[in-house]
Structures are given as C-alpha cells and as structure tokens.
Amino acid sequence: MEKIRKIATEEAFSIPEVAEALKQVVRGPTSSLDRLLVSQIYDSKPGASGYGMLNFLERLLDVEDHRLREMNELGVDMHLLSLTAPGVQMFDADTATDLAALANDRLADICRRHPTRFAGLASFAPQSPRRAAKEMQRAIRSLKLNGFILNSHTNGEYLDDPKYWPILEAAEALDACLYIHPRAASDGLKGPLQDYGMDTAMWGFGIETGTHCVRMMTSGLFDRFPKLKICIGHMGEAIPFWLWRLNYMNTRSQKMGRSPRTQLTMAEYFQRNFFITTSGVEDHLALDYAIRKLGVDHVLWAIDYPYQPSKPAVDFMDTAPLSEPDRAKLYHLNAERLFHIAPL
C-alpha cells in the first residue's frame, strides 16, 4: 500500500500560562462542572488518582519532544493543534482575551518552526465577541493559522445567541472552519451527569456539544450564515445517527410554532455546514455509517492526543474497509481542503 499522508485533526496542546490560570480558577469558588476534570489535570498532587495519574499536562505542554517522536514512530505526518478544553472560556473577558492572543502567538511560532508537522486552530475569547472577532482576523491574516477552536458553551450560553454572531460573521468572512470541541456540561445540563463518571467523555461531553450544534441548526442560524463551516469530533457527537428523527420532530415543531421556520431541514444543514472527525471513536461500523450519511468528503481522521492513545487510532484507519482514494480523503485530503493546509 502506498504511503498516505496522515493529518490528525483534533490534537490538544497548552501553554504554561493557561495551565497556571486554570489551576487558580479551579482553586476558587467556581461551580462549573469543568472543575472536576480541570483540577485533576492542572492541580493534581503526587500519587493522584483519576485523570491526574495519566500525566496529561506533561503531554499537553510538550509539543516538540515526546509528541514528535511518537508521531515519527507511528508515521503521523501532522497534528492540527488546538488549545485544550476548556481553553480560555473559564476566565474573565480581559484575561481570556490576553491568554488567547498569547496562545495563538505561541502556536503560530510552533507552526513556523515545523511547517510540515504542525498546523493550528486559533483560540479566542467569546466572552468579548467583538474583541474575539478582531483576534480571529489577526490569527488568520497575520499569524496564518488554519481555523478556530471553541469549547462549546461560554457561561452556559451558545452560538445561537445573537450576541455571539460577530464571531460567526468573522469565521464565515475568513472562510475559516470553527471546530466546536466538548467541555463539561453547562449548569442547565449538568445535574444527572455528575455521577458514575458520566460528566466527561463517556457521555457528558457528547451531550453538551451535540446540544450546542442542534441549537444552532434549529435556531435558523445557518440561514443567516450559509457558508459557515463547523467541525465536531467523536464521529459527530451522535448527531449523524439522530438526523432522521431530528428532521421529523423539527418539522413537527415548526408546524406547531415551537421552532423557527428554516429554509432547509436539519439534515440538509448538517450535510452542508458540518464536518466531523473520528476522534476517540474507533469503530468501523460507525465510520461506515457516518460516511454513508454525510458523504466521504465531510469526514476527517483524528486521534484526540493526548487523551486517546495514538497507535490504535492509526491502526483503526489503516484497517478500515475503505477504498484507497477514500482513505486518502479521510487521512489528509479533506483536512487540507477544510483547514487550508498546504499539500505536500
């Protein structure tokens, strides 16, 4: 089999300043469900249990040493880096704006030093939407980054709220994809998710991000921003499997006056405006369904480093029952097109 370029498209990193600021936030009086996970990663003690024992922080801060060695060992050509969840979205607006700009500067420097190994998604502070839009413009036009990362809700609010539309206007005008990454559920969703480890990747993350995306579609937002590109991970946060029912029930809701009238159906919005990655879902049946439902041009490969191990993700795609042209699309061609990554 001819070697195919491998671009992994949901790969986390951080910088010391953000890590320290998150440690201080979780030591404070926050009620955010993110506190449980963030405290274990950023404020764990020696011998800690839970996520603290997995040494995620060391891997997040190290981009050019262990990460590159592992990429080389497994034949992974490029990571599309993004500031790890919850990014800057737990901070006040001024702190978040400053840290997002600093993280983007550091990310752009990494990409300049390793132009064939790393590309980057810029962070921004949705707490201040107009300043966020200015940073988005700087990130694409000056720093030459490849798109944007948003960690779902901000203070329990979602992108269907018109206050955040300057962010969507900027992303659409820049032809830059917005990757909506999970974080812990907002206060309005968190109640039943706090037990049995359900609050994080097992269930809560997908529920949170899926809810965000369904709100965007049902609100009619994509009639105003028809060229907006959204990417979500984890094989589409279960939305592809719900599309028929979303269509049916939303049509009923529109007739009853409970949902806004929209120009397209929910499935049409999802198949036009959304792209999904395989991050953290290594299931060939799920992959086959997603490709059949959305089309092969809307599915991209990802690892979810360092939260998922890299080798199984590579083995999963290498052994997927795909034609070689389709495997090339998932491994790199779709990423090159969607995130404006230069082909080799």
Is residue 68 scored above 60 in pLDDT? yes
Tell me what the mean pLDDT of segment 261-278 comes to.
97
Domain of residue 286, CATH code: 3.20.20.140
CA distance 266 to 249: 10
Q: Which residues have CB under 8 Å from 198's CB, separation 6+?
A: 192, 204
The answer to whether 304 is a known catalytic residue is: yes
The one catalytic residue in 304, 315, 318, 326 is 304
Structure-model confidence comparison of residues 297 and 192, the more confident one: 297
- Rounded mean pLDDT of 8-24? 96
50: in domain: no
Q: Does the structure show a pLDDT above 60 at 52?
A: no
- pLDDT category of residue 151 using cuts at 50, 70 and 90: very high
Q: By residue range, what is the domain housing residue 316?
A: 7-14+59-338
Residue 24 counted as domain residue: no
Assigned domain for 113 exists:
yes
Domain tally, the chain: 1
For 192-210, write each residue's pLDDT tens digit.
888 888 888 888 888 899 9
How far is it, in rounded angstroms, from Cα 80 to Cα 78? 7
In a domain, 193, yes or no: yes
Q: How far is CA 63 from CA 16, 163, 259, in A?
A: 12, 35, 45
234 falls within a domain: yes
Whether 42 is covered by a domain: the verdict is no
Residue range 133-141: mean pLDDT, rounded: 98
Query: Given a cut of 60, is residue 284 above it in pLDDT?
Result: yes
**171 vs 193, which has greater pLDDT?**
171
Domain presence at residue 266:
yes
With respect to residue 254, please indicate whether it lies within any of the assigned structural domains: yes
**Residue 95 pLDDT greater than 70, yes or no:** yes
Residues 166-173, mean pLDDT to the nearest whole number: 98
User: What pLDDT, on a 0 to 100 scale, did the predictor assign at position 36?
Assistant: 78
